[in-house]
């Protein structure tokens, strides 16, 4: 279940060219299970229509304090009480200045002064406006007052100039508000180390050995734990997966050897409370990597392989008392006995088993079907679910092992 499911998100849209991104932002929030209401300024209506926003949010758009035709009152107080979060995206320099000064000359700003919930702003403006001392002072003042800032990105701006000021992409903003909700979560103060994706073992400068892992499962687990407030480091092999929450860090590696070095260094220096070994690490690597591309000569080619370092076994040998070590097993036969044997041999506290025999489970798909096995032999089998839902189940079980409770 998404950490935004059932949340009341009040979205304020101001008069910026970036207002077009608000449509996708609403769509993503609704897809995450949030209920969204939208306040627009008069200038925002010049960039995107209320009809578009109403259709996507499934709620009427609010612009004025009241409807002059029938007298219906849009209470800023009620809106402020309804919201679990007030997100203003895009937030123009004008709106940020008024917020910092306490000006309340429209429904969006009056609601800001009434809101009891966390407030997040996503600035959007040209680079010189963003760099201007007045704008920076406005942002500093708002930050001091507890307003959260979803930092703008650098890149090409509507003016044609290059620089910082472009509103963060909607997916980045959604990740950020998940982080904000998680600052009082059940995993605050906990550190998590997780491995993700495949590894690549070079044969020569052109070819390599790898596997079908996409990293989707590991990144979903990382996001679930980060949403609960944990500080998460991902040691990631080559993957297209991305995460941008402020309490996450990605260390990119290529080979099994690099992943081993990165994991052991992080484990011994950062002392994680939880280590999750989710990556599909190559068990073997070529004994010798050719300096030049191997030419085709004859019909057969013999490639000699040697074992890579066993990351799970190595961490298991030095596992600290009170820390949790979680492994994964992807099996094609004798699934349960193989997974139980791995758990015992490598000193794991919990192992997540999935089988390539189960339709919809395994690599490069958005679903998974797992069994979670604990020390002592207790096993919990789960039906086929999305990987995001499986990640929540795994995170729930990790919390139970840690004895976490809501702060």
Catalytically active residues are: 211
CA distances from 134 to 96, 128, 150, 152, 324 (A): 10, 11, 18, 17, 48
Q: 53 and 78 in contact (C-beta within 8 Å)?
A: no
Q: Is the CB of residue 306 less than 8 Å from the CB of residue 266?
A: no
Joined together, the tokens standing for residue 404 give: 């976490």
Q: Name residue, tokens 């006995």.
A: 337
List of E strands, 167-308: 191-196, 201-202, 208-209, 231-236, 248-252, 274-277, 284-286, 305-307
Given a contact cutoff of 8 angstroms between Cβ atoms, the answer to whether 4 and 33 are in contact is yes
Task: Return phi, psi of residue 77, to 5°.
Answer: -65, -45
Task: List the one residue out of 352, 76, 325 whose CA is nearest residue 192.
Answer: 325
Residue with structure tokens 């991305």? 242
Residues 361 and 354 sit within 8 Å (Cβ to Cβ): yes
Beta bridge partners, 194, equal: 234, 276
* CA trace torsion 181, 184, 186, 187 (10° rounding): 90
β-pairing verdict for 350-355 and 385-386:
unpaired
Which helix or strand (DSSP H or E) is residue 147 part of? Answer: none
SS3 assignment, position 78: helix
**Backbone φ, ψ for residue 346 (5° rounding):** -105, 10
Looking up tokens 């390599």, which residue turns up? 208
Residue 168: what are its φ and ψ, rounded to 5°?
-55, 150
> Strands 367-368, 305-307: parallel, antiparallel or unpaired by DSSP?
unpaired
Spatial distance between the Cα atoms of 399 and 95, rounded to a whole number of angstroms: 41
CA 204 and chain centroid, separation: 35
């Amino acid at each position: 279940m998404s950490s935004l499911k059932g949340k009341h998100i009040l979205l304020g849209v101001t008069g910026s060219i970036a207002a077009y991104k608000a449509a996708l932002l609403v769509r993503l929030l609704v897809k995450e299970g949030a209920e969204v209401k939208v306040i627009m300024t008069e200038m925002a209506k010049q960039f995107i229509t209320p009809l578009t926003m109403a259709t996507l949010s499934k709620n009427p758009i609010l612009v004025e304090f009241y409807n002059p035709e029938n007298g219906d009152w849009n209470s800023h107080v009620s809106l402020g009480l309804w919201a679990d979060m007030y997100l203003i995206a895009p937030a123009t320099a004008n709106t940020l200045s008024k917020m910092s000064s306490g000006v309340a000359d429209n429904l969006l700003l009056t609601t800001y002064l009434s809101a009891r919930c966390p407030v997040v702003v996503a600035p959007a403006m040209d680079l010189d406006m963003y760099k201007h001392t007045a704008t920076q002072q406005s942002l500093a003042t708002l930050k001091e007052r507890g307003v959260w800032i979803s930092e703008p990105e650098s890149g090409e701006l509507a003016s044609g100039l290059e620089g910082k000021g472009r509103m963060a992409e909607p997916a980045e903003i959604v990740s950020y508000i998940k982080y904000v909700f998680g600052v009082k979560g059940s995993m605050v103060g906990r550190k998590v180390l997780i491995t993700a994706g495949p590894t690549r073992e070079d044969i020569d400068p052109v070819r390599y050995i790898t596997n079908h892992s996409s990293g989707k499962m590991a990144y979903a687990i990382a996001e679930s734990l980060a949403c609960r407030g944990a500080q998460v480091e991902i040691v990631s092999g080559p993957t297209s997966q991305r995460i941008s929450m402020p309490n996450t860090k990605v260390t990119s590696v290529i080979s099994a050897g690099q992943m081993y070095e990165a994991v052991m260094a992080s484990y011994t220096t950062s002392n994680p409370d939880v280590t999750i070994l989710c990556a599909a690490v190559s068990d073997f690597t070529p004994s010798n990597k050719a300096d030049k591309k191997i030419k085709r000569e004859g019909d057969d080619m013999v490639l000699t392989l040697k074992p890579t370092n066993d990351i799970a076994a190595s961490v298991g040998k030095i596992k600290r008392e009170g820390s949790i070590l979680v492994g994964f097993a992807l099996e094609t036969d004798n699934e349960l006995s193989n997974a139980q044997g791995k758990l015992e041999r490598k000193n794991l506290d919990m192992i997540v088993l999935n089988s390539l025999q189960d339709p919809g489970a395994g690599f490069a798909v958005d679903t998974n079907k797992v069994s979670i096995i604990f020390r002592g032999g207790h096993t919990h089998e789960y039906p086929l679910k999305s990987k995001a839902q499986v990640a929540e189940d795994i995170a729930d079980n990790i919390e139970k092992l840690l004895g976490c409770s809501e702060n």
